[in-house]
Structure 1
C-alpha cells in the first residue's frame, strides 16, 4: 500500500524533473518514484556487496586461505581457450 510522503526540492532540481517528465511523457511523480526505486535498489546491492566483502575478510582473517592476484590473472587468461585452467585452489 502506498502512503504519501512529502519531498522538498530546490527550484532547479524541480524544474529538471518536470522537464524530464515532459520529454518522457510521464508525470513528475512517476519520475521521482522511479529515481528513488532505482537508487534504493542500487544502494541495497552495494550494501550486500559490502557485507559480503566484510564477511570474506573476516573469513580470511580466521583461515588465512587466499588466492593471489597473479594466480587469478593466469587462470582468467586461459578462459575460452583449449588450455583453460581449473579454478585456482585457495592456500595459506
Structure 2
C-alpha cells in the first residue's frame, strides 16, 4: 500500500540571526534539521490555534444559547459534578434550569 504525501510549497520566513542560531542549536541537540524544527513548530502552532478557535466558537454559541433561553447551571452545581467526576464517579452532568 502506498501512502500519499500532500504537495508542499516553498515559503520564505525572515528571522533574526539570534533566532536562527537558537533554532540551529536546538536542531543540533535533537539531531533534527532547522527545516524540520520550523515545520514542526508551525504544525503545532496551527493545531493549537485551531483548537482554541473551536473552543472560542463553542463559547460564543453557549453564550448565545444562554441569552436566548436563560438555561444554565450554577457554579456550585458545576463544581459538585466535577468533584464527583474527579472522585471517579460516573455521573451525568447537572440539568440546566432557568
Taking structure 2 as the reference length, what is the TM-score of the superposition? 0.85
Please state if 1:22 is matched with 2:28: yes
4+ long deviations beyond 6 Å:
none
Out of 40, 45, 48, which is 1:42 matched to? 48
Out of 79, 94, 98, which is 1:88 matched to? 94
What is the match of residue 2 of structure 1?
Answer: 8
Give, in whole Å, the separation in 2 of the partners of 1:10 and 1:81.
50
Report the aligned-residue RMSD. 1.6
- Provide the aligned length of Structure 1 versus Structure 2: 91
Deviation at 1:87, TM superposition (A): 2.5
Give unmatched runs, 5+ long, in structure 2. 1-6
Taking structure 1 as the reference length, what is the TM-score of the superposition? 0.90
What is the match of residue 76 of structure 1?
Answer: 82
